[in-house]
Structure formats: C-alpha cells, structure tokens
Amino acid sequence: MRTSPDRIERLEPHEVFVFGSNRDGSHGAGAARLAEERFGAVPGEGRGHHGQSYAIVTMSGIEVIRREVAAFLAYAAQHPEHDFLVTELGCGIAGYEPVDIAPLLRGAGENVLLPRRFAAVLAEA
C-alpha cells in the first residue's frame, strides 16, 4: 500500500491534499490552514474538492465523519486521474485517534494514499 508523506508541502499537478475541516470551512489551523494557504481550499467551504484540496468535515462527530469519508471514497473512485494524499483526518483538534478513523477508510482505492499510522491500523486488523 502506498502511503501519503508525513509532511505534505507541495503537490504534483495530479495530487489532491485531503484534510479535516469544520462544517463552516474556517481553515484557521493545522492541515486546514495549509490547504487554504497552498492548495486551493476555499474559506467557507467545509467539504469537497476545491483546487488541489478535498475537505472532509471532522468536527461534527464520528457519524458525520463516517458519511463524509464514504462520500470522499466514492468521489476518489470516480476520479482515478488524481492521487488523493490523505492527512491524519480527525486526529488533531477533533480529538480522534488513528484507530478511530482508519477503519472508515478501509477499501480505499489505489489512488487514495493513507497516512502511515492509518495504514498500520488497517494492516493489524
């Protein structure tokens, strides 16, 4: 399984930065801020593909994350021309651990690169 880099500072034209957001699209810190500053995330847009970024709402509970991740995986499957570099969604301000989030990404396609800690959780299961 290919994994996303620990630190993503630049992207190739076919790569998309996947990050956790709040519903309001206030990208004030962490990966969300980086997404807005460098990869085209749009203020006020808390979900979906914008520029070279894809926002997933992670601040509204695990059931919302589950739905958001399912929508993302469907989107990624429809866009094999992109590699989606997933950050440790929900493992910052949202307060989850990789063991909580990684299983939601089980079955991701080859164009979805997971963080190493998520890949390790899935490999153990």
pTM summary value: 0.96
pLDDT tens digits for 93-105? 899 999 999 999 9
Residue-level pLDDT at 120: 97
List, in sequence order, every beta strand (DSSP E) within 25-109: 48-50, 53-57, 83-86
pLDDT per position as a tens digit, 22-56: 999 999 899 999 999 999 999 999 999 999 999 99
Q: How many other C-beta atoms are found inside a 10 Å radius of the C-beta of residue 93?
A: 14
Strand partners, 48: 55
